[in-house]
Structure 1
Amino acid sequence: MASIARSSLLRQVASASRVSMATRPALQQSVLARAATFHTTSKRELLPPLPQRIKGTVNDAVPVPEPSPAQGSYHWTFDRLVAAGLVPLTVAPFAAGSLNPTLDAILCAGILIHSHSGFQQIIIDYVPKYRTPTARKLFMWGLNAATVVVGLALYEFETTDVGLTEAIKRIWTA
């Protein structure tokens, strides 16, 4: 669509150059007015671009990262195992009764590990270390602090209050 409009605009500009000198200014103004209306949208960036640095030259090989068991397939397998394990852990405390604090604690730990791992992957994917190392470190420390706070809150809720399963049962029947 844009290519059709662009070629007709180019034809108008080319035909305008062939017109005599007397009619040329008026025709150029109309062509410029059409071109201006065609390009009325302004390009605005929502956020300023991140700092960009070029390391090396075009002919340098891509650096291969060090293999780490915390990344890649090992991490993905661990995430899938925790996610699959949460399915029976969600049903088991309700089936065994709310007086079983062990299953309730395992459910809370599984939810906490699953949430921490998911948010960590979001940070790894969307806050690149090579472009914003300070922000990445800040987000990771924030995630670790939030995980500790939520873990302590769940521990307090399990030991001094009714527990997660019993709270869900009470909300469900309210």
Structure 2
Amino acid sequence: MASIARSSLLRQAASTTKFSAATRPAFQQTSIANAVRATAFHTTARRDLLPPLPQRVEGTVNDASPVPPTSPSHGSYHWTFDRLVAGSLIPLTVVPFAAGSLNPTLDAILCATILIHSHTGFQNIIIDYVPAYRTPRARKLFMWGLNAATVVVGLALYEFETTDVGITETIKRIWTA
């Protein structure tokens, strides 16, 4: 639309109509004025919010893609561990309420599992969206920030479990409030 409705074309179309400016209907005057304003907005220069990251090409087009070294702590084992932790959250969340017993040990296991699940989830987001080959410093910064946040949340959950009522009791009180 912006490529065919340029402001010069609209002005030309407005000047060649059969009505003069004095006899032109009010709705036509406002629609032409709005169209001119809209096209002026759409034809401004495009500016990026952030400059592009440095671009570099390693190798040539005919080079084979590098195969990373195998590691048992990455790949399918990592995915399997994530699925086991996520699957274990279901019974750990339901059992204290279904059984009617609020066990501090079970509460601590639930908090630790939630913390591990959150940490690995945010770690996967950082790995996916902050590539190490393009922004190695930002990746390292985000990973250290995630580790620091995990430690702070872990200490906060420990403090909440030992000096207050605990997670499951808090959820039970909120649910019955």
- Tell me the TM-score range normalised by the shorter chain: 0.7 to 0.9
Displacement of 1:98:
4.9
Pairing 1:90–2:102 present: no
Question: Which region of structure 1 is more displaced relative to structure 2, 146-155 or 52-61?
Answer: 52-61
TM-score relative to the length of structure 2? 0.73
Provide the identity percentage. Answer: 84
Q: Distance in 1 between matches of 2:149 and 2:73?
A: 20
State the Cα deviation string for residues 31-68 of structure 1 (Å, max 9, x = none): xxxxx98x825433222111111112222221111112
TM-score relative to the length of structure 1? 0.74
Q: Distance in 2 between matches of 1:107 and 1:73?
A: 24
Runs of 4+ in 1 over 4 A off after TM superposition: none
1:7-46 correspondence to structure 2 within 5 Å: 40=43, 42-46=45-49
1:108-127 correspondence to structure 2 within 5 Å: 108-127=111-130
Structure 1 residue runs of 5 or longer lacking an equivalent are: 3-35
RMSD: 2.3
Pairing 1:70–2:73 present: yes
Q: What is the aligned length?
A: 143
Residues 115, 150 of structure 2: 8 Å contact kept: yes
Structure 2 residue runs of 5 or longer lacking an equivalent are: 3-38
Q: Distance in 2 between matches of 1:63 and 1:145?
A: 33
Q: Distance in 2 between matches of 1:144 and 1:82?
A: 18
Q: Distance in 1 between matches of 2:103 and 2:112?
A: 15
